[in-house]
């Protein structure tokens, strides 16, 4: 049986987070990174956002833990001819010196880690005055143990946090200042035509994989009222 991230990688999913690529472009538009900003994307998946940031003139490094994701991200960067440095690495232990980046950008990744160790790493690799932008899965209310188990076992999530729980996690970090957007309910993801998506079509012939995709649909639909996202912004002193 595949794990959830390997399934996403094999499906070539380019924007596997609440709000999809549209939300990513809006957030990046609001941030307005100056050309040459050294950005680290953590959990880059198939590299779509990393390439987009590079197309805007950012100096981009992207990491992901999953080998299949890394291969697709390398392919995307090569085809699109954007100079993205792509490294296979874990968010909780990154192979970069302290104070390397102006910004860390990450979407739907920290929730898959213990949280505190990844946030410590984001802080460590940021330069003084560097900023973290983290869009994460969040819940409108605390879930029951049974609900949590269902989501954690399928998605491999470590924690299912409400917005106040995300803020509590940030309060234990070394970030000088942080803020969170309001909870935003998960919108139905529209297929937004990723021209460089590479799908492993063989997947659709495997009954266990098809069952997994159907379970994903079911979970998304069952939890649609309580599942959503938050954008955390945090500043290093
Ligand atoms: C839900 S996907 C989101 C991918 C991408 N950020 C996007 O929005 O399309 C989560 C990604 O985080 C990666 N990931 C999960 N845990 C990680 C970790 N500890 N270190 C690095 N990458 C991780 C997974 O391999 C996967 O590519």
pLDDT at 111: 95
Q: Which residues of the chain have pLDDT under 50?
A: none
Let me know: does 106 contact 135? Beta carbons within 8 Å: yes
Q: Residue 2 and residue 10: Cα distance in Å, rounded?
A: 10
Q: Residue 141 and residue 153: Cα distance in Å, rounded?
A: 19
State in Å: Cα 101 to ligand 1 middle. Answer: 19
23 lines ligand 1 (CB under 6 A): no
State in Å: Cα 110 to ligand 1 middle. Answer: 8
Q: Residue 122 and residue 32: Cα distance in Å, rounded?
A: 20
229 lines ligand 1 (CB under 6 A): no
pLDDT at 15: 87
> Which one, of 121, 115, 112, 104, lies nearest residue 66 by Cα?
112
pLDDT at 204: 87
pLDDT at 191: 61
> Which one, of 167, 158, 160, lies nearest residue 134 by Cα?
167
pLDDT at 203: 86
H helices, E strands: number in the chain: 8, 8
State in Å: Cα 65 to ligand 1 middle. Answer: 7
- Using only the alpha carbons of the chain, give its radius of gyration: 17
The matching CATH number, chosen from 3.40.50.300, 3.30.930.10, 3.40.50.150, 3.40.710.10, for 4-11+19-235 is 3.40.50.150
Please state the φ and ψ torsions of residue 118, each to the nearest 5 degrees: -65, -45
* Domain spans of the chain, in order of start: 4-11+19-235
**pTM for this model (two decimals):** 0.96
Enumerate residues 6+ apart whose C-beta is below 8 A from 33: 39, 53, 56, 57, 58, 103
pLDDT at 193: 86
State in Å: Cα 117 to ligand 1 middle. Answer: 15
16 lines ligand 1 (CB under 6 A): yes
pLDDT at 19: 87
């Amino acid at each position: 049986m595949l794990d959830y991230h390997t399934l996403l990688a094999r499906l070539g999913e380019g924007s596997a987070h609440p709000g999809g690529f549209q939300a990513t472009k809006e957030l990046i538009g609001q941030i307005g990174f100056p050309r040459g900003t050294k950005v680290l994307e953590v959990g880059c998946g198939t590299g779509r956002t990393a390439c987009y940031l590079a197309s805007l003139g950012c100096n981009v490094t992207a990491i992901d833990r999953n080998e299949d994701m890394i291969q697709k991200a390398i392919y995307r960067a090569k085809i699109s001819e954007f100079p993205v440095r792509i490294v296979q690495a874990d968010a909780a232990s990154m192979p970069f010196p302290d104070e390397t980046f102006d910004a860390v950008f990450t979407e739907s990744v920290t929730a898959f880690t213990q949280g505190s160790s990844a946030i410590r790493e984001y802080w460590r690799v940021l330069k003084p005055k560097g900023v973290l932008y983290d869009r994460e899965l969040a819940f409108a209310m605390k879930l029951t143990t049974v609900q949590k188990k269902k989501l954690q076992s399928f998605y491999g999530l470590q924690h299912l946090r409400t917005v106040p729980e995300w803020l509590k996690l940030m309060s234990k970090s070394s970030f000088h200042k942080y803020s969170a957007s309001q909870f935003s309910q998960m919108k139905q993801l529209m297929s937004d035509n990723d021209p460089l998506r590479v799908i492993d079509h063989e997947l659709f012939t495997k009954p266990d994989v098809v069952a997994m995709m159907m379970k994903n649909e079911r979970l998304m639909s069952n939890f649609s009222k309580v599942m959503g996202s938050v954008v955390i912004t945090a500043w290093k002193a």
